Structure 1
Amino acid sequence: MGQPGAVMQYDVNGIGVVVAYGEYDAHTLGQLSEALHNAAAKQPCVVLDVSAVTFGDSSFLNLLLTIRQQASFRLVSPPPQLRRVLEITGADTVLDIRASVEDATSD
């Protein structure tokens, strides 16, 4: 595998924004999972910017769907590979996918 996942967090207008970088599978998901669960516990809305995610397996997808149940959840800028996984699994029909962090934090 390539670069393991990295995470950055910040708040915009009371919305927790998490930015994910790199690859995520069952072995590298810990930091991202912790960041998303913490944000969901503190804010009613969580935004995850996945524009720099290069790989996400089924455990990554499961995490997205789990967070969606805990807070209002918006997914930002999935790259083509990840968008394809979302389409194949039907997750794109239940996740709120936005074009930019600005769009995801403006309403």
Structure 2
Amino acid sequence: MEQQVRVLPDEDGVRVIVCAGDFDQDTLAPLDQACTQAADDPGVRRIVLDVTRVAFADSSMLNLMVRMLHTDRLVVAGPVPEQLGRLLDLTQVRGILRITDDGIDAARTL
């Protein structure tokens, strides 16, 4: 699957970042840039990270998600793909993230 990072137009202070494909240390830069821009924007009160189409994620993406968690604005929109879910479970990060398996619209309101 080709990697894609797409930032949807902000709605009511919510920025949605849709990511698809593989994310590792060599391919993380576009996602990192989108997340950093969202975190640096004072008008963004919630950052929704849509991970439903992530085919592969390694510790680089996990680290980015933990960094975004520290903004206290991150919500992960799923359902979380199996491989990413195993990574979140293995590292016990799933328990500290706000995750909804009901998609972007549900994540906007968490």
TM over 0.5: yes
Instruction: Please state how far the C-alpha of 1:40 moved relative to its aligned partner.
Output: 1.4
TM-score, normalised on structure 2?
Answer: 0.89
Runs (4 or more) in structure 1 with deviation over 3 Å come to none
Q: Deviations over 1:53-90 (max 9, x none)?
A: 00000011000000111241011111111111101110
Q: Tell me the residue number matched to 1:104.
A: 107
Q: Tell me the residue number matched to 2:54.
A: 53
Q: Which amino acid aligns with 2:57?
A: G
Q: 1:90 aligns to what SS in structure 2?
A: coil
Q: 1:8 aligns with which of 6, 9, 21?
A: 6
Q: Tell me the residue number matched to 2:67.
A: 66
Unpaired stretches in structure 2, ≥5 consecutive residues: none
TM-score, normalised on structure 1?
Answer: 0.91
**Cα RMSD over matched residues?**
1.2
More strand as a share of residues: 1
Unpaired stretches in structure 1, ≥5 consecutive residues: none
Identical pairs, percent = 32
Q: Tell me the residue number matched to 2:77.
A: 76
Match runs of 1:84-99 below 5 Å: 84-99=86-101
Q: 2:70 aligns to what SS in structure 1?
A: helix
